[in-house]
Amino acid sequence: MTANDSQKPVTKAVIPAAGLGTRFLPATKASPKEMLPVVDRPAIQYVVQEAVSAGLDDILMITGRSKRALEDHFDRIPDLEASLKEQGKDALLESVQQATALGELHYLRQGDPKGLGHAVLRAKTHVGDNPFAVLLGDDLIDEKEDLLERMITAQEATGGSVVALMEVPQEQISAYGCAAVEAVEGEEYVKVTGMVEKPKPEEAPSNLAIIGRYVLHPHVFDVLENTPPGRGDEIQLTDALETLGQGSGEGEGVYGVVFNGRRFDTGDKLSYLKANVILAAERDDLGPGLRSWLKEFVQTLPEG
């Protein structure tokens, strides 16, 4: 499929952040996993920043039971700002204001967390008839990467929907949606010929995992409306994309951009810990102290 004249630019982003976060209990008992700090900012702030850096200035967050903390984080706190200003704590003031300067944020509750597909479907009215990006609120892509920009370019070129793919060890594929792909001559993106949510390693069509970035054609909403609950009794975005990928009409077809940069799943305890250590070790303020302590600490670790 090729892009046609009806192709509209991608300006909107949807950030689903309404999942239950059971993998991170008990920390997520009363607050959303997206609010867990990575170094000194909640994970969600990196994700919103990524969307804004890719030129998406209209952001809809799909929230759940702990909506309050997410909304508060991106809101102004005049008392705190005044107090920091009075005390001359300019760096802290700037860090507080960073989150509020990120552009236009909208919020919508999912209601029942009936799956990622259901969360995305909730965005239908807000998104309208435009292609849009979806960024999972617990998935961190290194800020030096241009994955989202590459995906937007692929969406504009194909007029279809685009997923982000990452090679993972075969034994880990059952934690992800998995895609079968074929090359598209002369293009950086690939055609996705099949998708399956969390397959057993021996049944997986490849070792390409679908990670938490999508750029979707609005036709996905029609498909989601007719997608029955699948794995885990949840409405799966992967199932809707599998249907979309089988068609060849306008707005159909699914493509993949393969990513081999740095990504952290902050909803997973080990990946979350690694994100904190790696990102802090690279910081100018915390890096020197952390790196020298880490070197000493590593010497004390037992083998294995």
Q: How far is the CB of 111 from ligand UTP (least distance, A)?
A: 9
Distance CA 74, CA 84 (A): 17
Least CB distance from residue 22 to ligand UTP, whole Å? 3
Smallest distance, Å, CB 199 to ligand UTP? 15
Only one residue has tokens 């390693």, namely 201
CB nearer ligand UTP, residue 24 or residue 264:
24
Is residue 110 close enough to count as binding ligand UTP by CB under 6 A? Answer: yes
Total of chain residues touching ligand UTP, rule CB under 6 A: 21
Site for ligand UTP in 124-143 (CB under 6 A): 136-138
Which residues, numbered 140-199, are part of the site for ligand UTP (CB under 6 A)? none
d(CA 19, CA 109): 11
Binding characters for ligand UTP, 261-300, by CB under 6 A (x = yes): ------x---------------------------------
Using the rule CB under 6 A, which residue among 116, 123, 210, 220 binds ligand UTP? 116
- 108 beta partners: 62
14-73 residues in contact with ligand UTP (CB under 6 A) are: 16-24, 62
* 3-class secondary-structure state, position 55: coil
Residue nearest to ligand UTP (CB): 19
What is the CA 283 to chain-centroid distance, rounded? 23
**Toward ligand UTP, which CB reaches closer, 123 or 192?**
123
**Residues 6+ away with beta carbon under 8 Å from 262:** 141, 142, 144, 145, 278
Residue 148 has which token pair?
């989202």
User: With b meaning 16 or more CB within 10 Å and e meaning fewer, what string describes 62-99?
Assistant: bbbebbeebeebbeeeeeeeeebeeeeeeeebeebeeb
**What does residue 144 show for φ and ψ, rounded to 5 degrees?**
-80, -10
115 touching ligand UTP, by CB under 6 A: yes
Token pair, residue 190, equals: 């690939």
Residues that bind ligand UTP (CB under 6 A): 16-24, 62, 110, 113-116, 118-119, 136-138, 267
